[in-house]
A and B are shown apart, each in its own frame.
Chain A
Amino acid sequence: MPRPDRRENDQIRALHSILGLLNRVDGSAQFSAGSTSVYCGVYGPVDVKVYDEKLDRAVIEVKFRPAAGVSGTKDRWVESAVRGTFEREILAQMHPRTLIQINIQAREDDGSADAAAINATTMALVDAGVPLRDMVAAASCAVLADGAAVVDPTLEEAAAAQSVHTFAFAGSDIGRAGSGGASGSTSPVYVDSRGDFSVADYDRCYDLCLRSAQRVLAFMRTAIEGKIAKESQISVV
């Protein structure tokens, strides 16, 4: 059954990003997949309140604001997802007694917003020069009522779906899987599968999201290399 926007089941929407668009923060990025669009601004490392500071590592704080309305428990949930994902990927031990603050602003939500938030955060952290263990790429997948698994679902598709799955993977893991490793050996950094599904559905979505995450990661790399090339006027191979 064709999707409303005529995409293939394993086709993600057109990705678009802008790096360094905000001039007050240390690093920023806008990440869009189709109509879903998220801004992320990163301050770091900066001063931290003495009450909150950790002696051996940086404190990582995430703030998420919705596109419209007052922030509520939904946004706390997204914050905890993003913070959990990046708490290990950010090399916080390199900056003890400081704060790395990640501010995410949803611009438009047309499905797969959690994945977009994670992707935007990765790019903003790289733009800010925060030391990272690895880049994180996220992708979503939905299992529709007829059993078909579609990647990067729109809001409409996700609302009607039997289950929605969001996965985030570290870059090195994606590379390993891409070069022929079994998906059983990959270790997702974030998993959120919700709805009514079977283990087989989960596995199908896992593989689809892994492959989508490869494309997202390749896109992020290209975008970042492009920016560096422009800034330094040399070509990066």
Chain B
Amino acid sequence: MDMDDTSEQQQVAFAMHTFERIHHTEFQRRFLSQNTRHDGRAFSQFRATHVTKGTVSTAQGSSTVRIGNTTVVCGIKAEVSEPDVKTPNEGYLVTNVELSPMCSARFRPGAPSDEAQVASEHIHRLFGKAVDLATLCIESGQAVWSLSADIVCLKYDGNILDTAILALVAALEDLRLPEAQLDSATGVVSADRTIARQLTLRKRLFPATFALVDTYLVADADDAEEQLATTSVLVVLDDSGRLANIWKRGACPVSNETIHQCIESAVERAETISKTL
């Protein structure tokens, strides 16, 4: 497919992929200025989302989520530990996002990049209130469940936050905690997996990320669009329609009106995903 660069009456024709590599910004603008996106979506359109629960049998709770090409697997392992002295009745939910070179050449091998650390921290804080940590108590002050939720990205094509949040919600719903008892004489906690209970989530979270590409606000930016977007808005709703998070970060200011529009789009998105989850 050829695209003519007609800006200065030059008769140079580029193959589409070449033009995209050489002048990525202009390539995206050609679509955005025509009110569409390079993959044919509308500005407010999210990619196809698929959620599957229970995909990893070695984890106590797991899920695989795909938004477009971005694929993540979330696995939750339950271990036993002593509670914090300040909160003797509360267990732990520790969330980490893994962005390795396997999913994209953007990430270097070795220690987690700043992006991965920020994503881990944000999601960890977001879910702090989603699970009632008191339900993770085995024996007050002595033994509690410690849930390690690890979100591993298999393929990266933008919008890791939405995918990771959905994966964690699905994995938490899939989680089956065995009945556990503490033997105070030996200090050993024993558990029976045949009697497993589901964890009740205080609230399910439905995320929606919007990115400012050039001057256009688009929903669910993929990798190509994310490279040009310095600014993004994340809106997270819970199942009662209340907000759990609005996070606008990045260089360009976004008007308050636009943020309200994002909230409205996020409400629609929440309705759609709640049927998939």
Q: A residues engaging B (CB < 8 A)? A: 73-74, 76-77, 79-81, 84-85, 87-88, 170, 173, 183-199, 202, 206
Contact = CB atoms under 8 A, between A and B. Distances in A.
B23 interface: no
A84 B122 CA distance: 15
Contact of A73 (B121, B129, B257): B121
Given A77-B118, A196-B129, A198-B242, A187 B251 contact: no
Contacts of B203: 196
Given A76-B117, A170-B253, A186-B256, A191 B242 contact: no
B256 A87 contact: no
Given A84-B250, A191-B246, A194-B245, A79 B256 contact: no
Contacts of A191: 233, 246-249, 259
A188 B243 contact: no
Contacts of B129: 195-196
A80 B118 CA distance: 7
A74 B246 CA distance: 18
16 contacts: A76-B117, A79-B114, A80-B114, A80-B249, A173-B253, A185-B256, A187-B255, A191-B248, A191-B259, A194-B126, A196-B129, A196-B242, A196-B243, A198-B243, A199-B243, A199-B260
A73 B256 contact: no
Top 5 closest A-B pairs, CB basis? A88-B251, A187-B253, A191-B248, A73-B121, A76-B117
Contact of B254 (A87, A187, A194, A202): A187
A199 B70 CA distance: 30
Nearest to A86: B251
B244 interface: yes
Given A84-B231, A190-B248, A192-B249, 11 more contacts: A73-B124, A80-B118, A81-B249, A84-B250, A183-B256, A186-B256, A187-B256, A191-B246, A191-B249, A194-B245, A196-B129
Looking at B121, B126, B238, the one whose CB has the most chain A CB atoms below 10 A away is: B121
Nearest to B258: A187
Given A170-B253, A193-B243, A188 B248 contact: yes
Interface in B227-247: 230-231, 233, 238, 242-247
Contacts, number: 94
B125 interface: yes
Looking at A173, A185, A188, the one whose CB has the most chain B CB atoms below 10 A away is: A188
A210 to B, nearest CB: 9
A84 B118 CA distance: 12
Given A197-B243, A198-B242, A199-B263, A184 B255 contact: yes
A69 to B, nearest CB: 15
Interface in B177-207: 203
A84 B251 contact: yes
Interface string B119-152: 0111011100100000000000000000000000
Given A184-B256, A185-B255, A73 B118 contact: yes
Nearest to A207: B256
B3 interface: no
B252 interface: yes
Given A88-B251, A184-B255, A189-B253, A76 B114 contact: yes
B251 A87 contact: yes
Contacts of B125: 194
